[in-house]
Amino acid sequence: MDFLHVSGYILALLVGISLGLVGSGGSILTVPILVYILGFDSVTATGYSLFVVGSTAFVGGVRNAILKNVDFSVVMLFGLPSLITAYIVRAFVISVLPNVIVTIAGHTITKALLLMLLFAIIMLIAALKMIRAVPANAGNATFSKGKLIISGIGTGLLAGAVGAGGGFLIIPALIFLAGMPMKKAVGTSLFIIAIQSLAGFAGDAFGRTVDWQFLLPFTAVSVAGIFIGIAASKKIEGAKLKTGFGYFVLIMGVYIIIKELLYNVHHKV
């Protein structure tokens, strides 16, 4: 195993740690690791990300359920529409998109480029949401079933399109729409991330070859990381950690946009 592969597995640990610490950020780390460190194409990377993040989040969700930090009625309201949407997008939309989407002024927009740019934009949105402090009156909202269902569909679209679990969107939705306290929102979010991500992966894996010899060990390392993250979360102030991680994600998002656009310019048709 070469240095890059060893680095990839070490970084897989950070995926789980991120989910354990802040309840989000798993896919934000996984996709760049798979693409830029391990050399997977963006379509495969976003699909594999769904399995890694989904499996890791499921383990964290089960642990939070044992601690009674999961609201399963909200998991059904938010998670079921999200699960169905993620599966449909991955199985029937991403799989049929042409490799070349459009050519403008001699520049080709490929499916791979489109997915990475969408992912980077999502990273920027995530960063701003993590940097922004949660208002003191959060967690006192009126429960809105309709808005939760609509939010579930939206995060399902996100998960299916770019391989992101959407924890950075799910947690604010649970706080502001379901009136949950932060700790319960994180636990419930992990369960929702798990079911929608694994559903998206199921749609992606349909009719495709999956490299299980790589994917299972990589996922196992990430799962180990979530236990480290959960343990560390008890000693680190969540607000400061979330803000610091937000700035890191912001830098990564800008880097991906610049890298992908520069690569496209240098390889124009």
Tell me what pLDDT residue 110 has: 84
Is the pLDDT at 141 greater than 60? The verdict is no
Distance CA 69, CA 6 (A): 35
Tell me what pLDDT residue 142 has: 57
Tokens coding 218: 């990589």
Tell me what pLDDT residue 269 has: 44
Full domain range(s) for residue 185 = 3-266
Average pLDDT over residues 143-158: 83
List, for residues 34-92, the tens digit of each pLDDT value.
988 998 988 888 889 989 999 999 998 898 899 888 999 899 988 889 888 888 888 88
Burial of 94 (0-12, 13-18, 19+ CB in 10 A): buried
CA dihedral 20, 24, 28, 33 (to 10 degrees): 10
Residue 142 makes CB contacts below 8 A (sequence gap 6+) with 179
CA 76, chain centre distance (Å): 19
Tell me what pLDDT residue 217 has: 93
CB atoms under 10 Å from CB of 57, counted, come to 32
When divided into structural domains, the chain yields a total of 1
Amino acid symbol at 199: A
Q: What share of the chain is helix, strand, coil (3-state, %, to 5)?
A: 75, 5, 20
Query: What is the pLDDT of the chain when averaged over all its residues?
Result: 81
List, for residues 196-248, the tens digit of each pLDDT value.
888 888 887 766 788 999 999 999 999 999 899 888 877 776 667 667 777 87
List, for residues 162-203, the tens digit of each pLDDT value.
766 667 778 777 877 777 877 788 889 888 888 888 888 888
Tokens coding 264: 């496209």
